[in-house]
């Protein structure tokens, strides 16, 4: 059987995200974009109301909630009304699950409200360090959570990041945060791990993490890869504009799949799905023709 993977489509409800800031700040535009990503094959829609780009300034919980709640509620209503499901394995069109929503936040109050509104996964770039109440919110809800490595905070993370060995350091950090999460009552099988490509890493650090990704897969939890449109791809390929970095994104996703990653956070769902489906079929030595990313029944 070819490797299963999940695609996490990005919906930034922010004015200042590095790639699409301001494009989906209005709820109607964000909801429409989320549904488009679902049509293209996203199994998860990751909604965020606070930018985590290098140098980003924090926003209040109230402002974050104002941005994200109408979007989560709107997408949830549409998914429920249309009975939207998504294929979760590239070689079996009958293996489907209801499309899910994740909330990209490090604030417990925002996570709690988002989960109440229909989200089922908390994507926390601080790995439960940003808010002492976050672990209990996740544990009590039974939600999935993604724990990410970040050196410092968004405002400072790219100021000369240094490691003894970036893979060893990130692996040790993720193991420690996984153990913390389980100790706080979060079921281990509900935890995903993200090495935080671009979050306090140089180009060389990012490449080393991708090259040795199998060492992180050894932790036994699904590994999330978020290379989409990031600046290190532009440095490598000479693509100054984030919109020009699709090819680099696809290359890193395919390489990461081969090394054991299983969740891919992307802006461009349709091409990512096509590239990963072909790669998964090649790795699994089987394939099934598929012309439809999602299934809707009315």
Evaluate if pTM is beyond 0.85: yes
User: Catalytic: 230?
Assistant: yes
Enumerate domains of the chain plus CATH numbers: 6-290 (3.20.20.20)
Contact 11, 46 (CB under 8 A): yes
Tens digit of each residue's pLDDT (9 = 90 or more) over 233-292: 999 988 888 888 999 999 999 999 999 999 999 999 999 999 999 999 999 855 555 544
Cα–Cα distance, 129 to 134 (Å, whole number): 8
Residue tagged active-site, from 6, 53, 245, 265: 265
Q: Which of 112, 229, 230, 245 is catalytic?
A: 230
Question: Is 265 annotated as catalytic?
Answer: yes
What is the pLDDT, as a whole number, of residue 156?
61
Rounded distance between C-alpha atoms, residue 125 and residue 224, angstroms: 12
List C-alpha distances in Å: 248 to 158, 183, 226, 242. Answer: 21, 38, 12, 11
What is the structure's pLDDT at 152? 74
What is the C-alpha radius of gyration for the chain, rounded to an integer number of angstroms?
Answer: 18
Gap between the Cα atoms of 95 and 198, Å rounded: 33
> How many other C-beta atoms are found inside a 10 Å radius of the C-beta of residue 146?
25
Looking at residue 52, its pLDDT comes to 80
Which residues does the chain have with pLDDT short of 50? 1-2, 18, 21, 89-95, 291-292, 295-298
């Amino acid at each position: 059987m070819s490797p299963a993977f999940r695609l996490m489509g990005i919906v930034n409800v922010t004015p200042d995200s590095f790639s699409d800031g301001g494009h989906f700040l209005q709820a109607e535009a964000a909801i429409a974009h989320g549904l488009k990503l679902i049509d293209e094959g996203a199994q998860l829609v990751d909604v965020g109301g606070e930018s985590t780009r290098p140098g980003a300034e924090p926003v209040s919980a109230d402002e974050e909630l104002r941005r994200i709640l109408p979007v989560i509620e709107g997408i949830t209503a549409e998914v429920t009304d249309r009975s939207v499901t998504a294929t979760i394995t590239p070689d079996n069109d009958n293996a489907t699950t209801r499309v899910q929503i994740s909330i990209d936040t490090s604030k417990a109050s925002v996570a709690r409200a988002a989960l109440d509104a229909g989200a089922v996964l908390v994507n926390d770039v601080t790995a439960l360090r940003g808010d002492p109440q976050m672990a209990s919110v996740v544990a009590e809800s039974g939600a999935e959570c993604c724990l990410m490595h970040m050196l410092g905070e968004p405002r400072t993370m790219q100021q000369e990041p240094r490691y003894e060995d970036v893979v060893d350091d990130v692996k040790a950090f993720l193991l420690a945060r996984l153990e913390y999460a389980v100790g706080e009552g979060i079921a281990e099988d509900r935890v995903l791990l993200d090495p935080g490509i671009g979050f306090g890493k140089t180009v060389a650090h990012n490449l080393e993490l991708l090259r040795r990704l199998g060492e992180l897969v050894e932790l036994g939890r699904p590994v999330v890869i978020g290379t989409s449109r990031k600046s290190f791809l532009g440095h490598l390929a000479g693509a100054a504009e984030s919109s020009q970095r699709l090819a680099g994104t696809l290359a890193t996703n395919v390489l990461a799949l081969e090394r054991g990653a299983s969740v891919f956070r992307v802006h461009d769902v349709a091409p990512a799905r096509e590239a990963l489906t072909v790669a998964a079929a090649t790795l699994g030595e089987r394939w099934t023709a598929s012309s439809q990313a999602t299934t809707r029944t009315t």
